Amino acid sequence: MKFLVINGVNLNMTGKREPSVYGVRTLDDINADLRAFCLKNGDEVDFYQSNIEGELCERTHKAEGEYDGIVLNAGAFTHYSIAIRDAISSVTVPVVEVHMSNVFAREEFRHTSLLTAVCKGEILGFGENSYKLALESFRL
């Protein structure tokens, strides 16, 4: 299988931003582990990160016909981006929404996702392992 892992706003600061919530490992560290995880399973994986909403939409559009699944951590865009929701709805590639933290144990504004209803599923609260669980979910 071939996967695309998309990380949104502020995830480039993983390892520095709120380490008590997101851990001390960088996004590059996490991506390296995900690459090894995919290779071990015979899968391919590409990564994309942007702090710009429109770029995340464009990358989602370009995934059509190229990937078997998208793992998406949209960051704060999760809670208010109709544009990203519409981008997900515009492709046939299944998308699994991911959050490293348990958003329901955090501020109330994080309890609502505009994306979940148009995703295959949502995995949250397992730190960086949330990504691996999302990749595994495509085999179910």
Asked about 131 being catalytic, the answer comes back as: no
| Residues facing 3 on adjacent strands | 45, 69
Task: Name the pairing type of β-strands 2-7 and 121-124.
Answer: unpaired
Indicate the number of domains in the chain: 1
**99: annotated active-site residue:** yes
For residue 11, give its domain range. Answer: 2-137
Burial profile 101-139: b = 16 or more Cβ within 10 angstroms, e = fewer: bebeeeeeebeebbbeebbbebbbebebebbbebbebbe
All residue ranges of the chain with pLDDT < 50 are none
pLDDT confidence of residue 18: 79
For residue 111, give the CATH number of its domain: 3.40.50.9100
Q: What pLDDT, on the 0 to 100 scale, is given for residue 22?
A: 76
The pLDDT tens digits for 70-110 are 999 999 999 999 999 999 999 999 999 999 999 988 888 88
- State the catalytic residue, choosing from 22, 48, 67, 131: 22
pLDDT for 36: 98
Of 48, 67, 99, 131, catalytic: 99
